[in-house]
Amino acid sequence: MRARFVVLLGAMAVLGACDKTATPVSPATTADDVVDLVPYYAVSPAASIDAAGIGGSLLPNTLKLTAEQQAAIAALHDAFMKAIAADIAALQAIEKEAKAAIRANESREKVRAILANGAPIVARLDAAFKKLQADVWAVYTPEQRAWIEAHRPRDCRRGSLQLTAEQVTAIRDLEQKFYAAVKPDLDLIRSIVEDARQARAAGKSREEVTAILAQAIEPQRRVANAERKLQAAIFDLLTPDQRLMWACRHG
């Protein structure tokens, strides 16, 4: 998949770094840090990070998303989020159970067994997300795609993004607050685009349709600014090595 359109959060972890002994898992160990089954792209549309930035916010002005593109992408994300809601709730329940087992000093084997219950769910989510990526990639113009391809990170290396529990919690909180803040503007943009579509269907002039779409300029600017602030806030939580891994995973 060429497009890496997305989001925002830590990778699925199944305690792979743990040894195979039957020793209890202390709440103070790093094991608790990696109980992070919910994929980064499942928290909010803020998970939409690629080389263009979150929601295309880093695209140059000459290639910025149109109101129609932004509305189409927002609609794709809304449908995706609704479709995966039950699976996300199931993963959150598994995370809660695993963390409770760690606090109770249960063995690593038991914690692994609990987390393993999430594997088929994550596989299902990954398949759905690949479909979302393809659908979003199709929204971009050839010129936008070329810019994104040209601005992917080039010095990536293999490895995993070892986020701590605190980082995972903080990033999820940032993304959820971001989505709550921009959702009114995203809804407004979609409404304006629908008005323009209806005007076009009613035979209105190009000038009239353009005037309707111009109403989306200010909400688009607010969303783009919020996206850039979110990305900066996430990077402030990461170490230099983590920033590179984050960019490579989302680029």
- Residue 15 is encoded by which pair of tokens? 């305690």
| Tens-place pLDDT, residues 219-240 | 988 988 888 888 889 889 999 8
Asked if residue 7 lies in contact with residue 45, where contact means CB atoms within 8 angstroms, the answer is: yes
**Tokens 């499942």 sit at which residue?**
42
Distance CA 73, CA 69 (A): 6
Average of per-residue pLDDT across 45-70: 73
Residue 212 confidence (pLDDT): 94
Residue 251 confidence (pLDDT): 56
| 29 — pLDDT class (breaks 50, 70, 90) | very low
Cα–Cα distances in angstroms (integers) from residue 6 to residues 17, 170, 183, 246, in the given order:
26, 18, 17, 11
Distance CA 85, CA 173 (A): 18
| Tens-place pLDDT, residues 106-155 | 998 999 999 999 999 999 998 988 888 888 889 999 999 898 888 877 77
pLDDT over 50 at 198, yes or no: yes
| Tens-place pLDDT, residues 45-54 | 555 545 555 5
Residue 13 confidence (pLDDT): 33
| 184 — pLDDT class (breaks 50, 70, 90) | very high
Residue 26 confidence (pLDDT): 37
Region of residue 105 (phi > 0: left; psi between -120 and 50: alpha; otherwise: beta): left
- The region of weakest confidence among 28-37, 120-129, 150-159, 189-198 is 28-37
Residue 5 confidence (pLDDT): 31
Which of 59, 47, 95 lies closest to 246 in space, CA to CA? Answer: 47
Please state the domain extents for the chain. 30-250
> Of residues 28 and 85, which shows the higher confidence score?
85
| 196 — pLDDT class (breaks 50, 70, 90) | very high
What proportion of the chain, given as a percentage, has pLDDT over 70? Answer: 76
Residue 141 confidence (pLDDT): 93
Q: Please list the helix, strand and coil fractions of the chain in percent, rounded to the nearest 5, in that order.
A: 65, 0, 30
Q: Name, of 52-61, 152-161, 191-200, the range with top average pLDDT.
A: 191-200
Asked if residue 123 lies in contact with residue 75, where contact means CB atoms within 8 angstroms, the answer is: no
Distance CA 160, CA 249 (A): 9
Distance CA 206, CA 249 (A): 41
The length of the chain in residues reads 251
- Residue 170 is encoded by which pair of tokens? 């903080």
What proportion of the chain, given as a percentage, has pLDDT over 90? Answer: 29
| 35 — pLDDT class (breaks 50, 70, 90) | low
